[in-house]
Each structure stands twice: as C-alpha cells, then as structure tokens.
Chains A and B, each alone.
Chain A
Amino acid sequence: MTMLDCAITDLAARLSSRGISSVEMTDACLTQIARNNGRLNAFITILADQARADARRADEEIASGHYRGPLHGVPLSLKDLIDLAGVPTTAASRVLEHHVADADAPITARLRTAGAVFLGKCNLHEFAFGTTSEDSAFGPVRNPWDPTRSAGGSSGGSAAAVVTGMGYASIGTDTGGSIRIPAAVCGCVGLKPTSGELPCEGIIPLSRTLDHVGPLARTVADAWLLFHVMTGIPNPPLLPVRRPAPSLRIGLLRPYFMDVLSDDVREQFELELERLAMAGVTVVERAVPHASDIAAVYLHLQLPEASAYHAPVLQTRPEDYTPPVRLRLEMGRYVLAEDYSRAQVGAEVLRREVDAALDGLDGLVLPTVPITAQPIGSTGLTIGDRSYPVRALMLRLTQLFDITGHPAISVPCGRSRDNLPVGLQLVGRHGRTEDLLTLAATCEDVIGQRG
C-alpha cells in the first residue's frame, strides 16, 4: 500500500513522529493532480505553490513540537463553492468570474487552524444546482472509474479527487444529496451531518433551509475526524472502538425507497445487507408514510430559495449561467408563496415520520443512489417499464434527509457488474451524527472498504 492509498488516520501518527512529511504527502497529491486532472477535470483552481509552502510550514511546526492534531499537514481540497481567503470562488459559473474570497468561510478557518494544507478548489455542478457535475463553466467532471460517465454531483470534483489520490479528503455541500451522490457513484465515504451542526456562512447558498456542508473521505474514521475539526475541535479524539455488529438494530426503508432501483444496485445492496445480517446486525423493515410526497416538498422549498438568491443576476445577466441551470432557476420564480408554505408543513410531517421510523433503532439503511454513474449527457433512464429523468433518480433516495435534517452518510458497498461503485446510505437520529458515524464504522468493517 502506498502513502496515497492510506487514510488520514493511518498517516497521522507517522506525520506527528516525522516518519513522513507533509511536503512528501503534498507533493504526492500534486503529482496525482498533474497526472489525472486533465482526464477527470476535478479541480478548477490548483494551489501548488501555496500548498507546498503550507506543507513546509506544517513540517517546521511539527519538528518544533507544535503538533496541532491529526489533520496537521494533511493535504485536502474544497468544493469551489466554499470561500478560501485570497482565492477565487467560482461556483463553476461565469457569473462569478473575477470574484475572489476576502476571508475564509468558518469551516475553512477551522480546517486551517487544525493545520490542513489546501491543494485547491474542486469542480462542481454550477452553483451546486445539479446532480451530475456536467453543467460547469469549466467543463464536466468525469468519473474516475469510467471517464465517459458522470462523477455525480454536485460535489463531483471532490469525489473524483478523493478516490484518485488528488488529496486525502475534500469538503463538499449537500442540499439534495450533493455529497452522498458523488461519494456513492465514485466510491468514497460522504457525510451530511445534522442540519445546522456545521456553519454554512462563507459558502454560496443553493437553498438556505436545505444546505449542509460536510466531508468526502476515504474512510468513516476520516469523516469522523473532519467532521469534528469542522465543529471547531482542532485535535479531536479518534473514532471510538466499534460497537459489535450483534448489538446493532437498523431499519430498512422499503416502500418507495426500494421500489425503483436498477438491477445491479438492488443486487449489490441486498448482498451487502445480507452480509450485515450474517454479521449479527438486526434488520427490521420501516416506512415513511408520506414518502411519495418527498419530491414535491423538496421542489417547492429548493426552487424558490435558489431563485430568490439568484434573482438580481437572473434579471441582468441570465446568459452567464449554463442553459440548464438558468432554466431551473427561472422555474423557481413561478412557485407560489402558498405552495412554499405547504412544503414547509410537509417538511415537518416528514421529519416526524423519519423520527418515528428511527424509534428503537440505531439507524436506517437504504441505497444512496438507485443507479450507478450514468454516461455524460444522458437525461433519462428506463427502469422496469417506466422512464425516469436522471436528475429525479439521482435525488430520489437522498433528498428526504436534507428536508428533515437528519444526518446521513454514504459508504462504499462494492461494485456493479460494470465495475461501477454502489453506495449504501445510513441515516441517524437528529443531532446524533457521532452515533451515526460509529454505526457506519461497524458497517464499513463488515462490508469492507471496497468502493
């Protein structure tokens, strides 16, 4: 196993004891970026000189006995929606051409305080308003497992970077699934914490009531570390000892959530669920009674909130958006206030129903995305005897937990027959992101890190 194959938690002790250096790690990542970025288009801005300087400083601090914690000297990236002082925040859009952040976002500042080295800013679906990372002023992000396919979105560049050694982790955002979807289709871990746990200031909003920020990482233990650092703990404890599988009870969400799946996602998910059961995890079935209303609630919250934020530019420079993103923003201007209000009530109903589904359980389980990575440019797909828009399928299993605010994580769950990654999603109790992470770590041990 090379240094680039390791997780942050595998390397932290070697970094602190000076068995390896931050400069070595950073150079290795920059070499991977030079090798892969032309093919995958994962980065919009690469900060090679700045990263090397920060890595040298980290090595000097560690050598002088000022070790900050397990993220000290670790190279990682940010989705280019998140402010890094002195560096452009483009949101993958011509709209923000020449815009440079004048300060760090709070989560960026916390990562900096913990000693992280910033390699650059990652490509995304323009303004995070899409699930494929295809509509970007900088061109589409490509899937590392098959560059003719989408990397998922909207944090597609972040996921592609994490699985190809272009950094040890990346920070993304999730409004309908934008961390978990690319994590699933690229084969890494993606955590959306509980709503409101991490501050979204300094991050360009898509929908203020649905937006979340969180890490994409190689392992659950790394996601634990990054989550805690972003809550403001620069030197957090490592993930505690796993709970034994036979002590765990999880609820399989079946009606609606298992109704529309591609054959290979269903096959792989059921195989891994069976492995969890064989390891002793108790799996019971649960339902969300209003599941068929999820998409309607989501649209009537997300569309008008996005349109309200973009209204001034839509009015003056609409041609600066990519055409599909402009049309979705325009659509939001037609949502009536009374329907926005109905959707707010619906969100509360759904939140209570997810709380009820979690009653007596450690978590809920479902696939992350009903399909594997789709060819770039595809807009529709037939499953069974029905056709579905790709966008609706990509959001189908993740958007509920942005509406309700429950923490949710995608962990790799093997590959399809086409060797494309499949994701397994776990959902925890509101405000109990740590418990969700310990559950996910046990499941990861059973399933294996096989993204």
Chain B
Amino acid sequence: MTDEGNRVAVEAWLRAALEDAERRGLPELKPLLEGLAQATITLRAADWNDTVPHAPRPADQ
C-alpha cells in the first residue's frame, strides 16, 4: 500500500477507535489514540514492510 493509502487506512481505524472509546465512556483515551495513530502511520511507512506486489488488473490496463 502507498503511504497515502496507509494514512487513509489509519485515519479510518482512528475514527472507529475514537467512537469506541466514546461509547465505552473513555473520552480521556482520545489524545492517546491520536498519538498511537501517528506512530502507526510511521510504522506502516517504514521501508522494511513487505507487501504483495501491486500488479494492475486487466480492467486497469
């Protein structure tokens, strides 16, 4: 996945996590989850991550 793709995926994860924290009555968790999301973006952007080669599908060609 591209860095942009990772960022979008982490943002979606963060939205779900923030909603869950709110639902569980833990609003104080929100800034910690936002910090964790930043760390997750960094982790996923690291160049050691092996990913499936992204070959174009026939419809894309």
Q: How many A-B residue pairs have CB under 8 A?
A: 57
Q: Are B36 and A295 in contact, CB atoms less than 8 angstroms apart?
A: no
In the assembly, what is the distance between CA of A292 and CA of B48, in Å?
13
A307-339: contact bitstring with B at CB < 8 Å (1 yes, 0 no)? 000000000000000010001101100111001
Residues of B contacting A: mostly:
helix
- The reply to whether the CB of B46 lies closer than 8 angstroms to some CB of chain A is yes
Q: Chain B contacts of A335 at CB under 8 A?
A: 36, 40
Smallest CB separation, A64 vs chain B (Å): 58
Given contacts A296-B43, A300-B40, contact A346 B48 (CB under 8 A): yes
Q: Is B39 an interface residue (CB 8 A)?
A: yes
Closest partner residue, chain A, to B46 (CB atom): A293
A299 touches B48 (CB 8 A): no
Question: Assuming A334-B17, A342-B44, is B32 touching A327 (CB within 8 A)?
Answer: yes
How many residues on the A side are at the interface (Cβ–Cβ under 8 A)? 23
Q: In the bound complex, do residue A300 and residue B43 qualify as a contact, i.e. CB atoms below 8 Å apart?
A: yes
Q: Which chain B residues lie closer than 8 Å to A292 at the CB level?
A: 42
Measured in the bound complex, the distance between the Cα atoms of B36 and A331 in whole Å is: 8
- Kindly provide the distance from the CB of A304 to the nearest chain B CB, expressed in whole angstroms: 11
B residues 6-41 with Cβ under 8 Å of A?
Answer: 13, 17, 20-21, 26, 28-29, 32-33, 36, 39-40
Residue pair B48, A300 in contact (C-beta under 8 Å): no
For the complex, give the distance between the alpha carbons of A323 and B13 in Å: 24
> A300 CA to B43 CA in the complex, in Å?
9
A345 in contact (CB, < 8 A): yes
Question: Are B46 and A336 touching (Cβ within 8 A)?
Answer: no
Choice from B26, B43, B49 contacting A330 with Cβ under 8 Å? B26
Query: B46 touches which one: A299, A303, A330, A346 (CB < 8 A)?
Result: A346
Chain A: minimal CB distance from B1 (Å): 11
What residues of chain A lie closer than 8 Å to B44, measured between beta carbons?
339, 342
- Chain A residues with CB under 8 A of B32: 327-328, 331
Interface residue tally on B, bucketed by range:
10 to 19
Given contacts A323-B28, A330-B26, contact A343 B36 (CB under 8 A): no
Whether the Cβ atoms of A345 and B42 lie closer than 8 Å is no
Kindly provide the distance from the CB of B40 to the nearest chain A CB, expressed in whole angstroms.
6
Q: In the complex, what residue of chain A is closest to B48 when comparing beta carbons?
A: A349
CB distance from A150 to the nearest CB of B (A): 20
| Pairwise interchain contact B43-A297, C-beta atoms closer than 8 A | yes
Interface of A is mostly: helix
A327/B28 in contact, CB under 8 A: yes
Give the distance in Å from the alpha carbon of A327 to the alpha carbon of B31 in the complex: 10
Chain B nearest CB, measured from A314 CB (Å): 11
- Which chain A residues numbered 262 to 299 have a C-beta less than 8 Å away from chain B? 290, 292-293, 295-297, 299
Contact residue among B13, B20, B42, B50 (Cβ-Cβ distance under 8 Å from A296): B42
With both chains docked as a complex, state the minimum distance between the C-beta of A399 and any C-beta of chain B, in angstroms: 12
Report B-chain residues with C-beta under 8 Å of the C-beta of A300.
39-40, 43
Give A335's nearest chain B residue, CB to CB: B36
Q: B36 contacts A293, CB within 8 Å?
A: no
User: With the chains together, A336 CA to B41 CA distance in Å?
Assistant: 13
Residues in B with CB closer than 8 Å to A296 are: 39-40, 42-43, 46
| Closest B residue, CB atoms, query A293 | B46
Minimal Cβ-Cβ distance residue in B for A318: B26
Interchain nearest-CB distance for A347 vs B (Å):
10
How far apart are the CA atoms of A342 and B44 in the complex, in Å?
A: 7
Determine the residue in chain A with the shortest Cβ distance to B43.
A296
B residues near A293, Cβ cutoff 8 Å: 42-43, 46
What is the CA–CA distance of A335 and B46 in the complex, to the nearest angstrom? 17
Interface pair A299/B49, CB less than 8 Å apart = no
| A162-221 contacts to B (CB < 8 Å) | none
Cβ of B13 and Cβ of A336 under 8 Å apart? yes
B30 to chain A, nearest CB (A): 10
CA distance in complex: A339, B36 (Å): 11
A residues sitting closer than 8 Å to B (CB atoms) are: 290, 292-293, 295-297, 299-300, 303, 323, 327-328, 330-331, 334-336, 339, 342-343, 345-346, 349
Cβ contacts A to B, 6 pairs, < 8 Å? A323-B28, A327-B32, A334-B33, A339-B43, A345-B50, A349-B48
B interface, CB within 8 angstroms of A: 13, 17, 20-21, 26, 28-29, 32-33, 36, 39-40, 42-44, 46, 48-50
